[in-house]
Amino acid sequence: MSTLALAFDLGGTELRGALVERSGDVAARVSAPTLAGAGSEAVIGQIIALADRLLKEHPQAKVIGIGMCAPGPLDPKAGIVIGPPTLAGWHNVPLIDILSRQFGLPVRLENDANAAALGEWRFGAGRGAGSLVFVTVSTGIGGGVVADGHIYHGRRGLAAEIGHMTITGEGDRCFCGNVGCFEAVASGTALGRRATRLTKPGDNSLLRRLSNDGDVSARHVVEAARAGDATARELVEAEARWLGIGFTNLLHLYSPDLIVMGGGLANGFDLLAPGIRATVDERAMQAYRDVPIVPAELGDRAGLVGAASLILWEGEPGTALAMVQDEETKAGGLSGAREASHG
């Protein structure tokens, strides 16, 4: 049996767990609706229960550590979940301490956007790149930056909060309190809101028919644009322009080898790509214009496999795998972990 990591992706609505192989392949998956309103102890209980289930169902698995991602803000080095807005009752929870005491395994923690960036970089659309920016566009906008082969953390691990960079001076107020945040104008929520304002219940527009005369969502806009609806096409064009403006800033700031776009709105990537590209060509300085902008490949597995790579990634000093190998070298043994690295 090859070397595996236990991985968890703690979201505000769903808690996902998996056994992940060093190739990034997911050997087993479990999930449960997150008890997001019940406080940290209840949710940690869920994590432990899912972990026990995975370990019980796969007794032969050689698990060498636990990689975990959770919503920010969190401190990856200290292993502390500081206080995510989507999880009630989490205040400075020392998650690494708690889980490593429970399981006697090394535990690593990363915020969910950074973990997804790592996943796409190690196993998905960004394989082989030295630097990349991962942008997830769905309800909000988040991201992670891999710079010169490492996640860029910044002070307290708070770098790359790209959804809240100011890209205009107008529009709806962001939940953070500012006006003009990238997220406030370019998220799926913002796109749905624009579509809702442009139409009315009962107006017989395709957008309202798709939404059964309720609020129009980004998904409805993409669907209507695919069907050739003129209003939806204009909305997609405007959305692509906002994304292109934000991506241009990211190119200028981080000079990545590529930008990877994930999140729900990546389902409409083919429709958005020409407008994004045109905006980047118009606004970016010459030297940045040839950088590829590509859709994510891993979907909702990106965070899980990225979290697992914190444990499994070979060659990174200080990872659990490197420590296991060090101990084996000292002991003169040749274990499954080492054999797996040759096969």
Q: Which residues bind Zn ion (CB under 5 A)?
A: 164, 174, 176, 178, 181
Best CA proximity match to 73, nearest among 2, 163, 147, 167: 163
- Closest to Zn ion by CB, 171 vs 336, is 171
Closest CB 215 distance from Zn ion, rounded Å: 21
Closest CB 154 distance from Zn ion, rounded Å: 17
- Closest to Zn ion by CB, 5 vs 174, is 174
Closest CB 65 distance from Zn ion, rounded Å: 35
Cβ atoms of 163 and 141 closer than 8 Å: yes
List all residues 6 or more positions away from 4 whose beta carbon is below 8 Å from its beta carbon.
Answer: 19, 20, 21, 22, 27, 61, 62, 63, 64, 312
- Closest to Zn ion by CB, 186 vs 337, is 186
Decide: residue 16, CB within 10 A, 0-12 exposed, 13-18 middle, 19+ buried: buried
- Closest to Zn ion by CB, 17 vs 192, is 192
Omega before 295 within 30 of 0, i.e. cis: no
Half-sphere exposure of 189 (CA within 13 A, CB side): 13
Cβ atoms of 30 and 49 closer than 8 Å: no
- Closest to Zn ion by CB, 185 vs 310, is 185
- Closest to Zn ion by CB, 64 vs 174, is 174
Closest CB 180 distance from Zn ion, rounded Å: 8
- Closest to Zn ion by CB, 40 vs 168, is 168
Closest CB 170 distance from Zn ion, rounded Å: 14
Total Cβ atoms within 10 A of residue 39: 15
**Can you tell me the distance from the alpha carbon of 111 to that of 291, in angstroms, rounded to the nearest whole number?**
26
Decide: residue 273, CB within 10 A, 0-12 exposed, 13-18 middle, 19+ buried: middle
**Can you tell me the distance from the alpha carbon of 200 to that of 42, in angstroms, rounded to the nearest whole number?**
43
Number of H-type helices and E-type strands within the chain: 12, 12
- Closest to Zn ion by CB, 115 vs 174, is 174
Closest CB 239 distance from Zn ion, rounded Å: 18
Closest CB 313 distance from Zn ion, rounded Å: 32
Closest CB 240 distance from Zn ion, rounded Å: 21
Closest CB 164 distance from Zn ion, rounded Å: 4
- Closest to Zn ion by CB, 43 vs 181, is 181
Is 217 in a helix, a strand, or coil? coil
Is 265 in a helix, a strand, or coil? helix
- The CA-atom distances, in angstroms, between 102 and each of 78, 165, 203 are 17, 39, 58
User: For the chain, how far is it from start to end, CA to CA, in angstroms?
Assistant: 11
